[in-house]
């Protein structure tokens, strides 16, 4: 019902099929299955963030191949910034700071690139926001609640089933916005949904590796994907050099100092750790 309404809005106001934003995670798997079963006209879009886990990248490629064989248009958008190709690794030195829970510049550049002047479907759920709050992860951009900016992919407790973004001329349909975790679990089991393989590797989320919103879970992510940790540290090294060149004050002497600050692991700048990782 919600999807059919969304599809009508899309056809009537935009003259185009609904655009389904697919991340490769559990919630987007559900909206995709619902869209397929509802028989609506839709196409599928994925924003490649450059920090997705390899398993997620393969899962999406395989999924898109199957959808295309059914005649469904699928598109993977590669990120661009100011007209040029970009990545997490080039954005970090450019922005002069790592992405943090309060400053998620990467989301608006790497993830929110599609869907301007379109009606889109997302898999955001309010329940995800409550979970983060209970884990102590603050999901606001400002201490003043009325000032806060919500990105299209945010699982915020204020999300509605249909929303409008005037800035980008988007209508956003969040059909499972009010679904609980149990609803999701039940649907996945009942409908035999094939999930991203990372869920069977004790990952409860399959977003960007090292996302600041993942808090302490990043330690497990970097233990599984040490190359990503090295890439972050290399980008942080560049960031320190850029800050120095631009005469900006910095407490950090190297990328590894930035990394410890970012991971909130209580290792001070220049301090040696037990495993000697500062010796790199
Ligand atoms: S999900 Fe996290 S790491 Fe990925 S783009 Fe958004 S804030 Fe950045």
Pair 194, 228 in one domain:
no
Pair 73, 131 in one domain:
yes
- Tell me the pLDDT tens digit for each residue of 85-119: 999 999 999 999 999 999 999 998 998 878 899 99
Pair 57, 160 in one domain:
yes
Pair 18, 142 in one domain:
yes
- How far apart CA 143 and CA 158 sit, in angstroms, is 16
Pair 239, 197 in one domain:
no
Pair 176, 242 in one domain:
no
Please report the atom of ligand 1 found closest to the CA of residue 109: 5
Average pLDDT on 183-189 reads 96
Residue ending a domain, among 155, 171, 202, is: 202
- Tell me the pLDDT tens digit for each residue of 216-255: 999 999 999 999 999 999 999 999 999 999 998 888 999 9
Pair 195, 261 in one domain:
no
Pair 174, 270 in one domain:
no
In a domain, 212, yes or no: no
| CATH code for the domain of 38 | 3.40.50.620
Residue of minimum CA distance from atom 4 in ligand 1: 208
Our answer on whether the CB atom of 208 is closer than 6 Å to any ligand 1 atom is: yes
Average pLDDT on 81-86 reads 95
- How far apart CA 98 and CA 198 sit, in angstroms, is 25
Pair 181, 250 in one domain:
no
- Tell me the pLDDT tens digit for each residue of 22-52: 999 999 999 999 999 999 999 999 999 999 9
- Tell me the pLDDT tens digit for each residue of 55-77: 999 999 999 999 999 999 999 99
Our answer on whether the CB atom of 79 is closer than 6 Å to any ligand 1 atom is: no
Using the predicted structure, report yes or no on whether residue 277 has a pLDDT greater than 70.
no
Reported pTM? 0.85
In a domain, 209, yes or no: no
SS3 state at 28: helix
Pair 33, 85 in one domain:
yes
In a domain, 215, yes or no: no
Residue ending a domain, among 170, 202, 234, is: 202
Average pLDDT on 134-143 reads 41
Edge to edge, the sheet with strand 74-77 lists 74-77, 42-47, 18-21, 119-121, 170-173, 162-165
Residue of minimum CA distance from atom 3 in ligand 1: 211
Domain that holds residue 95: 2-202
Pair 197, 267 in one domain:
no
């Amino acid at each position: 019902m919600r999807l059919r309404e969304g599809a009508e809005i899309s056809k009537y106001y935009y003259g185009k099929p609904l655009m389904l934003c697919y991340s490769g995670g559990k919630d987007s798997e559900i909206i995709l299955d619902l869209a397929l079963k509802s028989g609506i006209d839709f196409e599928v879009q994925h924003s490649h963030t450059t920090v997705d886990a390899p398993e997620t990248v393969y899962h999406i490629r395989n999924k898109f191949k199957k959808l295309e064989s059914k005649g469904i248009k699928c598109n993977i958008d590669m990120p661009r910034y100011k007209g040029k190709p970009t990545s997490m690794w080039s954005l970090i030195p450019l922005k002069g700071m790592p992405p943090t829970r309060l400053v998620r510049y990467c989301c608006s550049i790497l993830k929110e690139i599609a869907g301007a002047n379109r009606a889109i479907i997302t898999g955001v759920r309010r329940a995800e926001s409550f979970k983060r709050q209970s884990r102590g992860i603050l999901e606001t951009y400002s201490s003043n609640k009325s000032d806060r900016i919500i990105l299209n992919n945010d699982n915020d407790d204020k999300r509605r089933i249909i929303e409008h973004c005037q800035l980008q001329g988007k209508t956003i349909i969040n059909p499972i916005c009010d679904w609980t975790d149990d609803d999701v679990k039940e649907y996945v089991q009942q409908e035999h949904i094939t999930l991203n393989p990372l869920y069977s590797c004790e990952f409860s989320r399959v977003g960007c590796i090292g996302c600041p919103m993942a808090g302490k879970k990043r330690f497990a992510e970097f233990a599984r994907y040490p190359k990503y940790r090295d890439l972050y540290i290399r980008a942080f090294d560049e960031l320190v050099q850029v800050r120095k060149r631009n005469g900006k004050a910095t407490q950090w002497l190297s990328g590894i100092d930035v990394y410890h600050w970012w991971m909130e692991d209580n290792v001070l700048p220049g301090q040696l750790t037990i495993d000697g990782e500062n010796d790199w």
